[in-house]
Amino acid sequence: MKLLFAKEDLRLLIDPARFERGRQVSATIEDLYQDEWSLVGTVLDAGTPYQAMVHHGSPPLAAECDCSDGQPPLFCEHSVAVGLSYIDADDI
């Protein structure tokens, strides 16, 4: 699988504390899938499911999430978690 972006790309889009929180919750992702333009997954953060996306179809990367901080094109910890899970996945 050819990666579309790297961890450093995500790290540059969000403050360090939120990046770390995204790393922590990346283990809770369910239903991770990819289409031509986006990565999508459900992130369980403290038992609450959030639908998060990373849009990679054309630079720059953009994101959206149904949490209060995830308004497009901004990255929240949930969209970072989806991106990190994609990077770490063997096959999605």
Residue 58: pLDDT over 80: no
Domain-located, residue 53? yes
Residue 41: pLDDT over 80: yes
Q: What per-residue confidence (pLDDT) applies to 2?
A: 67
Domain-located, residue 2? no
Domain-located, residue 1? no
Domain-located, residue 56? yes
Domain-located, residue 34? yes
Give residue 61's domain range: 7-88
Query: Rounded distance, CA 15 to CA 80, Å?
Result: 11
Domain-located, residue 38? yes
| List of E strands, 6-86 | 30-34, 38-45, 48-55, 62-65
The pTM (predicted TM-score) of the whole model is 0.89
Domains held by the chain: number: 1
Q: What per-residue confidence (pLDDT) applies to 75?
A: 93
Secondary structure class of 57 (helix, strand, coil): coil
Domain-located, residue 23? yes
